Structure 1
Amino acid sequence: MLEVSRLNVAYRESHVIKDISFSVREQESVAVMGRNGMGKTTLLKALIGMLPARSGSIRLNGRELADARGYERVRQGLAFVPQGRMIFPQLTVEQNILTGTEYSGYRAVPDYIYRCFPVLDEMKSRKGGNLSGGQQQMLAIARALVSDPKVLILDEPTEGIQPSIIKDIARTLNLLRKERQFAIVVSEQVLSFALDLADRFLVIDGGRIVHEEARATLDQDKVRSFLTV
């Protein structure tokens, strides 16, 4: 489904992502783990087109996207929930969600969004800036989902969110990826959340993937060793 091959990304003269290759199967959830500054966010921004690739390939269902603009990648089936959520604080919940429907054709918020995120239904007329951090994260995810993605990309979705909400988000994402048939790529430092969500783990260190393992056989102590300073 999603195939990344020998991807290299640089900030000016700083070579951040170094020859990374990995794949994501249909409806699979893949966690990219690593400490701050190891290249997780840079990798995800390169996938969605916010940063240009110096070289390498990004293919979705056989279509090359490495040189495509961000909106073209969304149209082809990638969706992105950025670190820090980046909702529109002056728009209502409903208006925020509808900003994500440009390529899916929805004229109203689809029923499954409010069914899976009932708090957003209760607060659909409230401004996004008045929601809690956890509620804003749900809103950001909902806005990405209404583009009907094939791959949902999330950057540090647990940042600043209380543990009970983190559990709810993982449970909802697992339900939705089966129901709506999309895959997930998530960058994360909280191992418990990744264990609830991911089928496979990639550990990135110094801009390279240094470890890969399925959840069923995961050596949690080894992964934790890459997450500690």
Structure 2
Amino acid sequence: MSPLLSVERVSASYGEAEVLRDVSLEVATGEVVTLVGRNGAGKTTLLRCLMGLHRPTAGRITLDGTDIIGLPAHRRARRGLGLVPDDRGVFASLTVEENLKLPPTVSKEAWPLDRVYESFPVLKERRKFPGTKLSGGEQQMLAIARVLRMGARLLLCDEPTEGLSPVLVRQIGDILRDVKASGVTVLLVEQNIRFASTVADRHYLLAQGRVAQTLDNAEVREREHELLEHLGI
């Protein structure tokens, strides 16, 4: 069975600075896979390449066996890719409900509003609040919920726990596990390896723009101290 997402020898640059070098990885349907690495390792750049927001200089990206390297971002979204950016991308002047209703649905897997509110009760409570009135954790939940409302099959989630309290980090973990249980696939950028090991099936360690290692959760637990030192945590 072919993977849902396949990345083959992708390289990317900003000007003359090469950020990604021959990155290859796969994500199977229903998996949660993390990209871990220090700041500047190329994790966010890879997500941007996958979403069509940054053009690779080399390599191939396939979604469900179809090469998407030449597609613009909006066409990738309609094929089921959904990006949850590190800045959350919440429309500050719109209410929670308007943020949820604004994007078009792209598949029959799109979550209806009732299901979103059942899974994210805090968003139901805040549905008339503008984006500016939400906490960081609430904005993160809204950013994830909005992509599910669109019907994304593959969530590209960039540092969802950054800057959040331990209580909110646990809530985000619960949400990601529920999302996986619903059949949605997740590629998660995360520097918090301890958190990543509680939600993900496998981990790709990026270092200096390359995939340095592929780890399962048992290896993460065995080498936690070494990994934390590498990540600077």
Shift of 1:156: 0.8
Worse overlay, 200-209 or 108-117: 108-117
Equivalent pair of 1:98/1:108 in contact (CA under 8 Å):
no
Q: 1:91 to 1:41 in 2, by over 3 A?
A: same
What is the 5 A alignment of 1:1-229? 1-104=4-107, 109-179=112-182, 181-218=183-220, 219-228=223-232
Q: Report the CA distance shift for 1:65/1:107 in structure 2 as closer, same or farther (over 3 A).
A: closer
AA matched with 1:227: L
TM-score (norm 1): 0.94
CA distance in 2, matches of 1:3, 1:106: 22
Q: How far does residue 8 in structure 1 lie from its aligned partner after superposition? A: 0.7
Cα distance in 2 for residues equivalent to 1:210 and 1:175: 30
**Sequence identity percentage:** 36
Once structures 1 and 2 are overlaid, which stretch shifts more, 19-28 or 99-108?
99-108
Post-superposition CA distance 1:164-211 (Å, at most 9, x none) = 0111111111112211x1111111111222122111011111100111
Letter aligned with residue 228 of structure 1: G
Deviation digits for residues 49-100 of structure 1 (CA, Å, limit 9, x no counterpart):
1100111111011011111100111111110000111200000000001123
Give the 3 Å change call, closer, same or farther, for CA 228–79 of structure 1 in structure 2: same
Counterpart contact for 2:108–2:151, Cα < 8 Å: no
User: What runs of 5+ residues in structure 1 fail to find an aligned partner?
Assistant: none
Code of the aligned partner of 2:5: L
Q: How far 1:108 sits from its partner (Å)? A: 9.3
Q: How many residues align?
A: 228
The 8 Å contact of residues 111 and 151 in structure 2, kept in 1 or not, is answered as no
Distance 1:70 1:167, change over 3 A: same
Task: Let me know the Cα RMSD of the aligned residues.
Answer: 1.7
Cα 1:157–1:185 shift into 2, 3 Å: same
* Partners of 2:110 and 2:150 within 8 A in 1: no
Q: Where do 5+ consecutive residues of structure 2 fail to align?
A: none
Mapped partners of 1:97, 1:70: distance in 2: 19
